[in-house]
Protein backbone atom coordinates (compact mmCIF):
# COMPACT_ATOMS: atom_id res chain seq x y z
CA UNK A 1 0.00 0.00 0.00
CA UNK A 2 1.27 3.46 -0.85
CA UNK A 3 2.41 5.39 2.23
CA UNK A 4 1.17 8.86 3.19
CA UNK A 5 4.65 10.23 2.47
CA UNK A 6 4.65 8.66 -1.00
CA UNK A 7 1.16 9.96 -1.73
CA UNK A 8 2.06 13.47 -0.69
CA UNK A 9 5.29 13.21 -2.67
CA UNK A 10 3.40 12.34 -5.86
CA UNK A 11 0.93 15.19 -5.31
CA UNK A 12 3.73 17.64 -4.71
CA UNK A 13 5.72 16.54 -7.74
CA UNK A 14 3.01 16.38 -10.36
CA UNK A 15 1.03 19.28 -8.93
CA UNK A 16 3.97 21.64 -9.11
CA UNK A 17 4.93 20.47 -12.57
CA UNK A 18 1.43 20.77 -14.00
CA UNK A 19 0.07 24.02 -12.60
CA UNK A 20 1.19 27.54 -12.02
CA UNK A 21 -0.65 29.58 -9.37
CA UNK A 22 -3.60 31.49 -10.73
CA UNK A 23 -3.08 35.21 -10.97
CA UNK A 24 -6.16 35.95 -8.90
CA UNK A 25 -5.53 33.37 -6.22
CA UNK A 26 -3.04 35.32 -4.16
CA UNK A 27 -4.14 38.87 -4.89
CA UNK A 28 -6.01 39.20 -1.62
CA UNK A 29 -5.70 40.37 1.93
CA UNK A 30 -6.92 37.43 3.97
CA UNK A 31 -5.53 35.69 7.01
CA UNK A 32 -2.87 33.03 6.72
CA UNK A 33 -4.21 29.45 6.70
CA UNK A 34 -4.73 27.93 10.13
CA UNK A 35 -2.14 25.24 9.48
CA UNK A 36 0.56 27.90 9.08
CA UNK A 37 0.09 28.69 12.77
CA UNK A 38 -0.79 25.22 14.08
CA UNK A 39 2.43 23.68 12.73
CA UNK A 40 4.71 26.72 13.06
CA UNK A 41 8.23 26.02 14.37
CA UNK A 42 8.87 26.10 18.10
CA UNK A 43 12.25 27.79 18.23
CA UNK A 44 15.03 27.86 20.80
CA UNK A 45 17.55 30.69 20.85
CA UNK A 46 20.96 29.83 22.27
CA UNK A 47 21.24 30.32 26.04
CA UNK A 48 24.24 32.62 25.59
CA UNK A 49 22.80 34.62 22.68
CA UNK A 50 23.84 38.29 22.62
CA UNK A 51 22.08 39.46 19.42
CA UNK A 52 18.34 38.95 19.61
CA UNK A 53 15.47 39.11 17.09
CA UNK A 54 14.87 42.64 15.80
CA UNK A 55 11.91 44.63 14.55
CA UNK A 56 12.53 45.80 10.98
CA UNK A 57 11.09 49.24 11.85
CA UNK A 58 13.64 49.71 14.64
CA UNK A 59 16.42 48.59 12.30
CA UNK A 60 15.35 51.03 9.59
CA UNK A 61 15.25 53.86 12.11
CA UNK A 62 18.94 53.34 12.83
CA UNK A 63 20.45 52.99 9.36
CA UNK A 64 21.54 55.30 6.56
CA UNK A 65 20.99 54.45 2.87
CA UNK A 66 24.38 54.40 1.15
CA UNK A 67 25.87 53.54 -2.23
CA UNK A 68 29.65 53.13 -2.47
CA UNK A 69 29.96 54.48 1.08
CA UNK A 70 28.12 57.70 0.10
CA UNK A 71 24.99 58.61 2.05
CA UNK A 72 21.74 59.18 0.17
CA UNK A 73 19.85 60.32 3.25
CA UNK A 74 19.98 60.77 6.99
CA UNK A 75 19.60 58.20 9.75
CA UNK A 76 15.97 57.13 9.94
CA UNK A 77 15.13 58.47 6.48
CA UNK A 78 14.21 54.96 5.27
CA UNK A 79 10.86 53.56 6.39
CA UNK A 80 8.92 50.39 5.64
CA UNK A 81 6.80 52.27 3.11
CA UNK A 82 9.73 53.98 1.35
CA UNK A 83 12.22 51.12 1.35
CA UNK A 84 11.29 49.80 -2.10
CA UNK A 85 11.78 53.24 -3.65
CA UNK A 86 15.53 52.74 -3.21
CA UNK A 87 17.70 51.04 -5.80
CA UNK A 88 18.94 47.51 -5.15
CA UNK A 89 22.51 48.87 -5.04
CA UNK A 90 21.77 50.57 -1.70
CA UNK A 91 23.24 49.31 1.57
CA UNK A 92 21.40 50.04 4.83
CA UNK A 93 24.43 51.26 6.75
CA UNK A 94 24.59 51.47 10.54
CA UNK A 95 24.28 55.05 11.79
CA UNK A 96 26.25 54.15 14.92
CA UNK A 97 29.32 51.94 15.29
CA UNK A 98 28.11 48.31 15.40
CA UNK A 99 31.08 47.08 17.43
CA UNK A 100 29.98 49.40 20.25
CA UNK A 101 26.86 47.21 20.55
CA UNK A 102 24.24 49.99 20.63
CA UNK A 103 20.81 48.91 21.88
CA UNK A 104 19.30 48.57 18.41
CA UNK A 105 22.11 46.18 17.42
CA UNK A 106 21.79 43.84 20.41
CA UNK A 107 17.98 44.14 20.37
CA UNK A 108 17.48 42.98 23.93
CA UNK A 109 13.86 44.13 23.55
CA UNK A 110 13.52 41.15 21.20
CA UNK A 111 14.59 38.55 23.77
CA UNK A 112 11.51 36.36 24.29
CA UNK A 113 9.84 36.41 27.70
CA UNK A 114 8.96 33.37 29.79
CA UNK A 115 6.00 32.69 27.49
CA UNK A 116 8.14 32.74 24.36
CA UNK A 117 6.88 36.13 23.22
CA UNK A 118 9.44 38.38 21.52
CA UNK A 119 9.02 42.14 21.28
CA UNK A 120 10.33 41.84 17.71
CA UNK A 121 7.75 40.63 15.19
CA UNK A 122 8.70 37.76 12.92
CA UNK A 123 7.66 37.61 9.28
CA UNK A 124 5.48 34.77 7.97
CA UNK A 125 4.94 34.47 4.22
CA UNK A 126 2.62 31.92 2.59
CA UNK A 127 3.26 30.96 -1.04
CA UNK A 128 0.68 28.88 -2.92
CA UNK A 129 2.37 26.75 -5.55
CA UNK A 130 -0.84 25.15 -6.87
CA UNK A 131 -4.25 24.03 -5.63
CA UNK A 132 -2.73 21.53 -3.16
CA UNK A 133 0.78 22.71 -2.29
CA UNK A 134 1.67 25.74 -0.16
CA UNK A 135 5.06 26.72 1.23
CA UNK A 136 5.02 28.75 4.45
CA UNK A 137 8.17 30.72 5.27
CA UNK A 138 8.99 31.81 8.81
CA UNK A 139 11.58 34.58 8.53
CA UNK A 140 13.77 35.63 11.45
CA UNK A 141 15.44 39.04 11.32
CA UNK A 142 18.32 40.21 13.51
CA UNK A 143 20.10 43.55 13.33
CA UNK A 144 23.50 41.90 13.75
CA UNK A 145 25.25 38.68 12.83
CA UNK A 146 28.22 37.62 14.93
CA UNK A 147 30.15 35.22 12.73
CA UNK A 148 32.28 33.62 15.43
CA UNK A 149 35.97 32.76 15.59
CA UNK A 150 38.32 30.49 13.70
CA UNK A 151 41.49 29.77 15.69
CA UNK A 152 40.69 32.81 17.84
CA UNK A 153 40.12 35.18 14.90
CA UNK A 154 36.72 36.77 14.21
CA UNK A 155 35.16 36.32 10.76
CA UNK A 156 31.88 37.05 8.99
CA UNK A 157 30.39 39.77 11.21
CA UNK A 158 27.76 41.89 9.47
CA UNK A 159 24.88 44.28 10.10
CA UNK A 160 21.50 42.73 9.33
CA UNK A 161 20.73 39.01 9.30
CA UNK A 162 17.86 37.15 7.60
CA UNK A 163 17.33 33.44 8.23
CA UNK A 164 14.27 31.30 7.67
CA UNK A 165 12.45 28.03 8.19
CA UNK A 166 10.11 26.82 5.43
CA UNK A 167 7.43 24.16 5.78
CA UNK A 168 5.89 22.60 2.69
CA UNK A 169 2.23 21.67 3.10
CA UNK A 170 0.31 19.36 0.78
CA UNK A 171 -3.45 19.63 1.22
CA UNK A 172 -2.82 21.30 4.57
CA UNK A 173 -0.61 18.46 5.83
CA UNK A 174 3.09 19.12 6.60
CA UNK A 175 5.31 17.23 4.16
CA UNK A 176 8.87 18.51 4.73
CA UNK A 177 10.79 21.31 6.41
CA UNK A 178 13.78 23.39 5.32
CA UNK A 179 16.14 25.14 7.76
CA UNK A 180 18.37 27.91 6.42
CA UNK A 181 21.97 27.78 7.62
CA UNK A 182 23.90 30.87 6.54
CA UNK A 183 24.33 30.51 2.75
CA UNK A 184 23.12 26.88 2.74
CA UNK A 185 20.51 24.84 4.58
CA UNK A 186 19.08 21.41 5.40
CA UNK A 187 15.76 19.80 4.45
CA UNK A 188 14.07 17.00 6.40
CA UNK A 189 10.96 14.91 6.01
CA UNK A 190 8.40 16.07 8.53
CA UNK A 191 8.18 12.85 10.51
CA UNK A 192 11.90 12.77 11.42
CA UNK A 193 11.74 16.04 13.37
CA UNK A 194 11.21 16.30 17.12
CA UNK A 195 8.10 18.13 18.26
CA UNK A 196 6.54 20.31 20.93
CA UNK A 197 2.98 19.13 20.46
CA UNK A 198 2.35 19.51 16.71
CA UNK A 199 5.16 22.00 16.24
CA UNK A 200 8.65 21.06 15.01
CA UNK A 201 11.48 22.09 17.33
CA UNK A 202 14.25 24.16 15.77
CA UNK A 203 17.42 25.57 17.28
CA UNK A 204 19.13 28.86 16.41
CA UNK A 205 22.91 28.99 16.34
CA UNK A 206 24.79 31.33 18.67
CA UNK A 207 25.42 34.73 17.09
CA UNK A 208 25.09 33.68 13.45
CA UNK A 209 21.45 32.57 13.83
CA UNK A 210 21.48 29.59 11.46
CA UNK A 211 18.66 27.10 12.06
CA UNK A 212 19.20 23.47 13.03
CA UNK A 213 17.11 20.43 13.89
CA UNK A 214 19.21 19.38 16.89
CA UNK A 215 20.98 20.90 19.87
CA UNK A 216 24.76 20.79 20.18
CA UNK A 217 27.77 21.56 18.01
CA UNK A 218 26.87 22.18 14.38
CA UNK A 219 29.74 22.07 11.90
CA UNK A 220 29.51 23.89 8.58
CA UNK A 221 31.50 25.33 5.67
CA UNK A 222 35.03 24.44 6.80
CA UNK A 223 36.14 20.88 7.47
CA UNK A 224 37.69 19.49 10.65
CA UNK A 225 35.32 21.47 12.84
CA UNK A 226 37.23 24.74 12.52
CA UNK A 227 33.94 26.60 12.10
CA UNK A 228 30.92 25.54 14.12
CA UNK A 229 27.64 26.88 15.44
CA UNK A 230 26.42 26.02 18.92
CA UNK A 231 22.78 25.40 19.74
CA UNK A 232 20.85 24.47 22.87
CA UNK A 233 17.36 24.63 24.34
CA UNK A 234 18.01 28.09 25.75
CA UNK A 235 15.29 30.71 25.32
CA UNK A 236 12.06 29.49 23.68
CA UNK A 237 10.64 31.70 20.94
CA UNK A 238 7.07 31.37 19.66
CA UNK A 239 6.85 33.54 16.53
CA UNK A 240 3.11 32.98 16.20
CA UNK A 241 2.49 35.35 19.10
CA UNK A 242 4.03 38.35 17.32
CA UNK A 243 4.40 38.48 13.54
CA UNK A 244 3.64 40.22 10.27
CA UNK A 245 1.83 37.93 7.82
CA UNK A 246 1.84 38.02 4.01
CA UNK A 247 0.96 36.15 0.86
CA UNK A 248 3.37 36.00 -2.06
CA UNK A 249 2.11 35.45 -5.61
CA UNK A 250 4.73 33.68 -7.72
CA UNK A 251 3.00 34.52 -11.00
CA UNK A 252 2.98 38.29 -10.48
CA UNK A 253 5.91 38.55 -8.07
CA UNK A 254 3.84 40.60 -5.63
CA UNK A 255 3.15 40.50 -1.90
CA UNK A 256 -0.12 41.20 -0.11
CA UNK A 257 -0.87 41.75 3.56
CA UNK A 258 -2.45 38.82 5.40
CA UNK A 259 -2.55 40.34 8.89
CA UNK A 260 -0.49 39.35 11.89
CA UNK A 261 -0.43 39.19 15.66
CA UNK A 262 0.48 41.58 18.49
CA UNK A 263 2.95 44.36 17.58
CA UNK A 264 3.53 42.88 14.14
CA UNK A 265 -0.17 42.87 13.39
CA UNK A 266 -0.75 46.43 14.57
CA UNK A 267 2.31 47.77 12.72
CA UNK A 268 1.44 45.87 9.56
CA UNK A 269 -2.09 47.30 9.54
CA UNK A 270 -0.62 50.70 8.66
CA UNK A 271 2.05 49.45 6.23
CA UNK A 272 2.18 48.28 2.64
CA UNK A 273 3.79 44.98 1.67
CA UNK A 274 6.09 46.60 -0.89
CA UNK A 275 9.11 46.60 1.45
CA UNK A 276 9.38 42.88 0.80
CA UNK A 277 10.13 43.58 -2.87
CA UNK A 278 13.32 45.47 -2.10
CA UNK A 279 16.45 43.66 -3.33
CA UNK A 280 19.16 45.71 -1.63
CA UNK A 281 21.35 44.88 1.37
CA UNK A 282 20.02 45.09 4.92
CA UNK A 283 23.42 46.04 6.32
CA UNK A 284 26.69 47.83 5.64
CA UNK A 285 28.79 47.32 2.55
CA UNK A 286 31.90 45.30 3.37
CA UNK A 287 34.30 47.69 5.07
CA UNK A 288 37.54 48.63 3.33
CA UNK A 289 40.85 47.50 4.83
CA UNK A 290 41.31 50.99 6.30
CA UNK A 291 38.28 50.52 8.59
CA UNK A 292 39.30 49.92 12.25
CA UNK A 293 39.29 46.22 12.99
CA UNK A 294 38.83 45.11 9.39
CA UNK A 295 41.07 42.38 8.01
CA UNK A 296 40.81 39.66 5.41
CA UNK A 297 42.64 36.35 5.32
CA UNK A 298 42.39 34.73 1.91
CA UNK A 299 38.74 35.35 0.99
CA UNK A 300 37.43 35.51 4.57
CA UNK A 301 36.99 38.91 6.25
CA UNK A 302 36.12 40.12 9.71
CA UNK A 303 33.36 42.44 8.48
CA UNK A 304 31.35 41.49 5.39
CA UNK A 305 28.39 43.00 3.57
CA UNK A 306 24.87 42.72 4.92
CA UNK A 307 22.38 40.24 3.40
CA UNK A 308 19.48 40.61 1.02
CA UNK A 309 15.92 40.13 2.28
CA UNK A 310 13.16 37.51 1.89
CA UNK A 311 12.49 38.17 -1.80
CA UNK A 312 15.97 36.88 -2.63
CA UNK A 313 15.47 33.53 -0.86
CA UNK A 314 13.79 31.75 -3.79
CA UNK A 315 10.22 31.96 -2.54
CA UNK A 316 9.08 30.36 -5.77
CA UNK A 317 11.28 27.28 -5.33
CA UNK A 318 10.05 23.98 -6.71
CA UNK A 319 12.10 21.79 -4.39
CA UNK A 320 12.04 22.15 -0.63
CA UNK A 321 15.54 23.64 -0.62
CA UNK A 322 16.46 27.25 -1.32
CA UNK A 323 18.87 25.98 -3.96
CA UNK A 324 16.77 23.85 -6.29
CA UNK A 325 19.79 22.05 -7.73
CA UNK A 326 20.40 18.67 -6.13
CA UNK A 327 18.04 19.14 -3.19
CA UNK A 328 18.17 16.26 -0.71
CA UNK A 329 15.47 15.75 1.90
CA UNK A 330 17.07 13.92 4.81
CA UNK A 331 15.58 10.99 6.68
CA UNK A 332 17.93 11.35 9.64
CA UNK A 333 17.68 14.37 11.92
CA UNK A 334 21.45 14.39 12.35
CA UNK A 335 22.18 14.87 8.64
CA UNK A 336 23.37 18.20 7.23
CA UNK A 337 23.60 19.46 3.65
CA UNK A 338 27.33 20.00 4.17
CA UNK A 339 27.82 16.24 4.62
CA UNK A 340 28.12 13.83 1.68
CA UNK A 341 24.74 12.14 2.02
CA UNK A 342 23.05 10.12 -0.71
CA UNK A 343 19.37 10.23 -1.51
CA UNK A 344 17.36 7.08 -0.98
CA UNK A 345 16.54 5.05 -4.07
CA UNK A 346 13.23 6.11 -5.52
CA UNK A 347 13.05 9.46 -3.72
CA UNK A 348 11.74 12.42 -5.68
CA UNK A 349 13.17 15.24 -3.59
CA UNK A 350 15.18 16.71 -6.47
CA UNK A 351 11.98 17.66 -8.29
CA UNK A 352 9.48 18.15 -5.47
- Report how far apart, in Å, the C-alpha atoms of 345 and of each of 7, 186, 348, 349 are: 16, 19, 9, 11
Start-end of H helices in 49-123: 56-60, 103-106
7 or 276: whose pLDDT is higher? Answer: 276
Is this structure's pTM higher than 0.75?
yes
Q: What is the pLDDT of residue 81?
A: 95
Print burial letters for 191-225: b (CB count within 10 Å at least 16), e (below 16). Answer: ebbeeeeebbbbbbbbbbbbbbbebeebebbeeee
| Model confidence at 288: pLDDT above 60 | yes
Q: Which of 50, 71, 241, 215 is nearest to 142 (CA)?
A: 50
Q: Which of 41, 46, 27 is nearest to 243 (CA)?
A: 41
Question: What's the CA gap between 212 and 186, in Å, rounded?
Answer: 8
Residue 336 confidence class, pLDDT cut points 50, 70, 90: low
Inter-residue contact 53 to 30 (CB < 8 Å): no
- For the chain, give the number of residues: 352
φ, ψ for residue 145, nearest 5 deg: -115, 120
Question: What's the CA gap between 44 and 27, in Å, rounded?
Answer: 34
Question: What's the CA gap between 299 and 297, in Å, rounded?
Answer: 6
- Report how far apart, in Å, the C-alpha atoms of 99 and of each of 51, 296, 299, 300, 341 are: 12, 17, 22, 18, 39
In this structure, the strands spanning 243-249 and 122-128 are parallel
Give per-residue pLDDT as tens, 112-152.
999 999 999 999 999 999 999 999 999 999 999 998 888 88
Q: What is the pLDDT of residue 183?
A: 74
Q: Which of 98, 106, 86, 115 is nearest to 158 (CA)?
A: 98
Amino acid sequence: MISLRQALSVCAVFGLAAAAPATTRLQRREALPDYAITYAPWTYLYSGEAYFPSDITTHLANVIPEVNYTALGASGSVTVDTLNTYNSSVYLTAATTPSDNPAWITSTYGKPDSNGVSGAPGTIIAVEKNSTTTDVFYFHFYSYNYGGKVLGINFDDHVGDWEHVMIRFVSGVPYAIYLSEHSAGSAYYWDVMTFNGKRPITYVGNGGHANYATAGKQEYTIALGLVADTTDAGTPWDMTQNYRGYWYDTSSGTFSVAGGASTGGSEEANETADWLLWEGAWGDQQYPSSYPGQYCIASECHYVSGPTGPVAKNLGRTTVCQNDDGCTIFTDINDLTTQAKKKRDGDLESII
